[in-house]
Structure 1
Amino acid sequence: MSGTLLHCPAPAKLNLFLHVTGRRADGYHLLQSAFQLIDRCDNLDFVSRDDGVIRRTNQIAGVPEDSDLIVRAARLLQSHTGSQYGADLTLHKILPMGGGLGGGSSDAATTLMALNHLWQCGLSRQELMELGLRLGADVPFFLFGRNAFAEGVGEILQEIETPDCWYVVIEPGVQIPTPAIFSSKDLTRDTKPVKMSVFPSAATNNWKNDLQTVAVTLFPQVDEVINWLKNFGDARMTGSGSCVFCAFFDENSANEVLKQVPDRWASWKAQAMKQHPMYHLVQT
């Protein structure tokens, strides 16, 4: 089989809120969150191979090929379906690692969608989501492909409507390993569950990121960014950090804030998306 898909986007996500409501017997945390897709993306190229070989064609600093989620995703799909095909994978990395934007999970989801299409595996969206969960709790969301209210460990998803807006996102310059946050003795795990029906109509201060309190203690750089961005709106951390975001209802307002971000931080704007740009590749 010969087939190519180039410039395939792997969008970032923001957690509009993130509550830790409990912990399962196996150690996984029970969460509630609202996932928002944004138009800041990694990009991937896929070229099918007839010899079954799966390889990454470029180097990614700090990520060995065999542990890269895109390689693992490709190999998982290959073994699950019994496909005889392989692929050359090229990852153009833009999203920061350890930023709470779901970049690695999104890369894996785009890989599953693209190769399911190129290899003609015929897996449904639900089947891909179940497969993706083996790679990480955020992967099913990107395969779901719509903004979602998430429960469980993040895999129970219901589509939600979210505001059309722009986000300013600031990278504090630190990578936060997720296990460091979830293993902290200071993490509260008893936030009262909320109903999807009250999001986002309830008062903004009801929505918080339970991981933020731990992160700012371990990484003061995150606290510094939050305090600075709070001058312009309701700033908070996404995921387990380290990136911090604030919503604006028009692009000009976002631009004005970007002009003022201190040079010591990387910053950018992104627009809210309703749907994953590769949503159409998967039959529901």
Structure 2
Amino acid sequence: MRSLMSCPAPAKLNLFLHVTGRRPDGYHLLQSVFQLIDRCDTLDFTLRGDERIRRVTDVPGVPEDSDLVVRAARLLQAEVARRTGTPPPGVDIALHKVLPMGGGLGGGSSDAATTLLALNRLWHGGLSKQELMDLGLPLGADIPFFLFGETAFAEGVGEALRPVDGPDCWYVVIEPGVQVPTGDIFTSEHLTRNTAAVIISDFSRHFADQNIGLRQFGKNDLQQVASRLFPPVAQAVEWLGVHGDARMTGSGACVFCAFHGEEQADAVLDAFGATAPSTWKGWKAKALRRHPMEMFQSESCEA
């Protein structure tokens, strides 16, 4: 096999995000539930005749050498070479971006995770899921989740993951026309860092309660800070909140709301097209239980 084409890198939503403390090294302690959705970037991988790792598509604002996709590929290439004594061949990587940068959807981390999954197969690397998660963690705290590959209750800096059932629903997501730098949020003096810890059964009981419907669990501690620094985030929460329980995902800027069916999501998007600011973008996505790259199913990657 010399190539893998149209490999999906799905987005994620943080169904809640609590900051429960801070480590001595400055990293924040978090609790969250990560939910995969079916809106994806896609990547193509073609092996080369030399050992070079190249990104063959342009990503505005992201130099090739700093792209998580390229860094992940080089890291795995070095690890496979260490294990086998022979560097695997280089690869041309075409990255087709759909997910916005600075949106809180985990696009860059998801791209890196898909890169590790695809190249581990193309290079016959033989690394286990856990080994890939350990390899990816230094590049980004969200990468292990995308390799974990299912709805997860996350703790620590986001790397301690346990499977959990999430709602089976549709989401409307708004991109409010701004990029939110994660560092600006976590360094803010206004960030709450002492939210009481919850346990996984608290989240599970919440969605098992038939009287709750799709009302969200907990909160996003980062939302207040992002809304203060980037008013379009607050405006998007207010607009979407007319239709349901809306909140921001990750450190922003995207805002989402859950709906039982696709028709409800479509109705909200009809209203969006009529009344939302022209600088915003809105779309729908279905909750995913598992990562579409799981077990390299034939519909996930065309060899």
TM-score normalised by length of structure 2: 0.91
Alpha-carbon contact 1:50-1:84 (below 8 Å) kept: no
Q: Residue 97 of structure 1 corresponds to which residue in structure 2?
A: 101
Q: Residue 250 of structure 1 corresponds to which residue in structure 2?
A: 261
Q: Residue 249 of structure 2 corresponds to which residue in structure 1?
A: 238
Give the SS at the match of 1:272: strand
1:182 aligns with 2:186: yes
Alpha-carbon contact 2:16-2:217 (below 8 Å) kept: no
Report the alpha carbon displacement of residue 205 of structure 1 after superposing the two structures with TM.
6.3
Alpha-carbon contact 1:41-1:94 (below 8 Å) kept: yes
1:271 aligns with 2:270: no
> Residue 271 of structure 2: which of 249, 253, 260 is its match?
260
Distance 1:190 1:104, change over 3 A: same
Q: Give distance in 1, aligned partners of 2:216 and 2:285.
A: 23
Summarize deviations over 1:183-219 as a string: whole Å, max 9, x none: 0011011000000011142375651000001000000
Report the alpha carbon displacement of residue 3 of structure 1 after superposing the two structures with TM.
1.1
Q: Share of identical aligned residues, percent?
A: 64
Q: Residue 84 of structure 2 corresponds to which residue in structure 1?
A: none
Count of residue correspondences? 281
Q: Give distance in 2, aligned partners of 1:193 and 1:123.
A: 34
Give the SS at the match of 2:233: helix
Give 5+ residue unaligned stretches, structure 1: none
1:119 aligns with 2:123: yes
Summarize deviations over 1:20-62 as a string: whole Å, max 9, x none: 0001111110000000000000000000123111000011110
Q: Residue 37 of structure 1 corresponds to which residue in structure 2?
A: 36
Q: Give distance in 1, aligned partners of 2:191 and 2:167.
A: 30
Q: Residue 197 of structure 2 corresponds to which residue in structure 1?
A: 193
Give the SS at the match of 1:141: helix
Report the alpha carbon displacement of residue 281 of structure 1 after superposing the two structures with TM.
3.4
Structure 2 letter corresponding to 1:201:
R
Give the SS at the match of 2:40: strand
Q: Residue 221 of structure 1 corresponds to which residue in structure 2?
A: 232
Q: Which deviates more, 153-162 or 197-206?
A: 197-206
Alpha-carbon contact 2:172-2:283 (below 8 Å) kept: yes
Summarize deviations over 1:217-241 as a string: whole Å, max 9, x none: 0001100010011101100000000
* Runs of 4 or more consecutive aligned structure 1 residues displaced over 6 Å after TM superposition: none
Q: Give distance in 1, aligned partners of 2:22 and 2:79.
A: 30
Alpha-carbon contact 2:164-2:204 (below 8 Å) kept: no
Alpha-carbon contact 2:15-2:217 (below 8 Å) kept: no
Q: CA RMSD in A?
A: 1.2
Give 5+ residue unaligned stretches, structure 2: 82-86, 207-211, 298-303
Q: Residue 49 of structure 2 corresponds to which residue in structure 1?
A: 50
Q: Give distance in 1, aligned partners of 2:173 and 2:182.
A: 19
Summarize deviations over 1:163-199 as a string: whole Å, max 9, x none: 1100000000000000000000110110000000111
Q: Give distance in 2, aligned partners of 1:183 and 1:76.
A: 29
Q: Give distance in 2, aligned partners of 1:43 and 1:17.
A: 26
Alpha-carbon contact 1:48-1:119 (below 8 Å) kept: no
Q: Residue 110 of structure 2 corresponds to which residue in structure 1?
A: 106
Q: Give distance in 1, aligned partners of 2:4 and 2:153.
A: 30
Q: Give distance in 2, aligned partners of 1:17 and 1:254.
A: 20
> Residue 207 of structure 1: which of 212, 218, 224 is its match?
218
1:79 aligns with 2:78: yes
Alpha-carbon contact 2:16-2:219 (below 8 Å) kept: yes
Alpha-carbon contact 2:174-2:254 (below 8 Å) kept: yes
Give the SS at the match of 1:89: strand
Structure 1 letter corresponding to 2:235:
E
